[in-house]
């Protein structure tokens, strides 16, 4: 398991296609949910993404923008549009709003491929719920607004999206969700690899033949009794070489990285597996002694496992009650 695969695990679209119909100006769509991640792709035409409290970003045909919540954003035909904002949220993707192709306040010319012959703008939006500490580490590596140009691997996904959005067939939402997942992965990979970019340390380190192997081992077997010597043996270098190379590329020693990753896994387990005891979670992430685990958790997270679980449960209950 590589680092990126671990961090994006669980970030999945589910009934999240807000629109695939054509837009005729003027328009102003206000996406009010403040989803942790929202992917916006224009198939045809153009418009502007206006994130709350940030400068507008142009979005042209076959370009993609990823917006990180919790701030909301608006998609408009032009900056300063006269159109009244139409609030779009989870309800926009429900069957009572017309299924996949028709959305609140949107227009459809029924010409087959959305916007192909009309010059209108066709927007596809996928909102991603992101839960837990593992996914949060991915969010922490992203800017509030991530702009990706056209071309690359994502281009082929767009062709599939356009073809699927132009029809109305059984199982369509499932297909569109998976295509949006594919689109998100391609967009993030290309953004991390962009020339002159500054990707997170773990992204660049994955490409190193030694440190990349060490990271894959730590993520594949986080509960194993790792030592620097054991990692060095598995990666085929000396202990000193691995320690220096890992610290230079990742920014911290191998076992420090491992401890932080174990505590990230533990934080999600404490929330998701309510029936598991602290000792159970400790064993799952590689600690035979629950007291040693609790000390490590408090050192990394600033609170003990029991208090963390209690606070997370209270926050979840408060959110559900809103």
Residue 101: its pLDDT value, please?
39
> How many other β-carbons are positioned within 10 Å of the β-carbon of residue 235?
21
**DSSP, residue by residue, 119-175:** --EEEEEEEE---HHHHHHHHTTS-SEEEE-S-SHHHHHHHHHHHHHT---TTHHHH
Q: Does 3-192 match 204-321 in CATH topology?
A: no
Residue 91: its pLDDT value, please?
52
- What's this model's pTM, rounded to 2 decimal places? 0.84
Residue 18: its pLDDT value, please?
54
State in words which class domain 204-321 has: mainly alpha
Residue 95: its pLDDT value, please?
38
Residue 207: its pLDDT value, please?
92
**C-alpha dihedral, 194 to 153 to 145 to 71, nearest 10°:** -150
The fold for domain 3-192 equals Jelly Rolls (2.60.120)
Question: Is the distance from CB of 105 to CB of 29 less than 8 angstroms?
Answer: yes
Domain boundaries of the chain, sorted by first residue: 3-192, 204-321
Nearest-CA neighbor of 126 among 85, 56, 197, 185? 185
Residue 216: its pLDDT value, please?
97
Enumerate residue ranges in the chain where pLDDT < 50.
Answer: 93-117
For residue 11 the two structure tokens come to 């970030």
Q: Count the alpha carbons within 13 Å of 288 in the hemisphere toward its beta carbon.
A: 2
Residue 296: its pLDDT value, please?
97
């Amino acid at each position: 398991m590589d680092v990126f695969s671990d961090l994006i695990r669980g970030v999945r679209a589910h009934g999240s296609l807000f629109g695939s119909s054509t837009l005729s100006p003027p328009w102003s769509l206000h996406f009010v949910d403040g989803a942790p991640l929202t992917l916006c792709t224009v198939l045809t035409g153009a418009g502007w993404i206006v994130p709350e409290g940030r400068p507008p970003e142009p979005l042209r045909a076959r370009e993609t923008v990823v917006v990180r919540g919790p701030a909301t954003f608006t998609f408009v035909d032009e900056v300063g549009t006269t159109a009244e904002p139409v609030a779009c949220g989870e309800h926009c993707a429900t069957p009572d709003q017309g299924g996949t192709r028709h959305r609140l306040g949107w227009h459809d010319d029924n010409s087959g491929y959305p916007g192909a012959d009309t010059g209108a703008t066709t927007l596809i939006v996928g909102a991603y719920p992101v839960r837990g500490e593992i996914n949060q580490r991915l969010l922490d590596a992203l800017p509030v607004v991530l702009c990706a140009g056209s071309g690359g691997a994502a281009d082929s996904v767009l062709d599939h999206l356009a073809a699927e959005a132009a029809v109305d067939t059984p199982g369509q939402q499932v297909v569109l969700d998976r295509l949006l997942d594919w689109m998100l992965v391609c967009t993030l990979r290309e953004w991390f690899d962009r020339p002159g970019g500054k990707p997170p340390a773990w992204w660049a380190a994955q490409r190193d033949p030694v440190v990349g192997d060490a990271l894959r081992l730590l993520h594949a077997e986080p509960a194993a009794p790792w030592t620097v010597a054991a990692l060095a043996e598995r990666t085929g270098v000396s202990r000193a070489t691995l320690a220096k190379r890992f610290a230079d590329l990742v920014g911290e020693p191998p076992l420090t990285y491992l401890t932080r990753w174990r505590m990230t896994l533990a934080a999600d387990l404490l929330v998701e597996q309510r029936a598991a005891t602290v000792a159970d979670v400790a064993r799952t992430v590689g600690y035979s002694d629950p007291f040693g685990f609790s000390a490590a958790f408090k050192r990394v997270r600033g609170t003990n496992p029991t208090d963390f679980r209690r606070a997370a449960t209270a926050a979840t209950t408060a959110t559900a009650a809103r």
